[in-house]
Amino acid sequence: MSAKKIMIVDDEPDITELLGDRLEAAGFDVRIVDRTTCYEAVAEDAPDLILMDVQMPEISGMEALVELRTHHPNIPADGEHIHDSGGGR
């Protein structure tokens, strides 16, 4: 059985690296993209789940989710906001 594919869409590299590392360690196939490439990435890769930051520059994650669901209505997605307190890992 192949690993479930999770796409992380976020503009904070520290957060995506940490989250991606944890998900990969749990056995998921992780792809990290930014807001500008998420539409193409979903069309290419059809993830099983999208985790998207709800506060990104230029367009909110919620607006991007609405756009994604217009073209891919069956993809499960969740908006997340993780605050980096600067305390490290």
Summarised one tens digit per residue, pLDDT across range 9-48 is 888 889 899 999 999 999 999 999 887 788 888 888 889 8
pLDDT value for 60: 67
- Tell which wins on pLDDT, 17 or 70: 17
Q: What is the DSSP string of 20-32?
A: HHHHHHTT-EEEE
Q: Is the pLDDT of residue 51 over 70?
A: yes
- 7-80 CATH: 3.40.50.2300
pTM for the whole structure: 0.74
Mean pLDDT of the chain: 79
Please state the domain extents for the chain: 7-80
Q: Is the confidence at residue 89, as pLDDT, over 50?
A: no
Percent of the chain, pLDDT > 70? Answer: 78
Q: Give the residue ranges of DSSP H helices in 26-82.
A: 38-45, 61-71
Q: Which residues, 6+ apart, have CB-to-CB distance to 41 below 8 Å?
A: 7, 31, 33
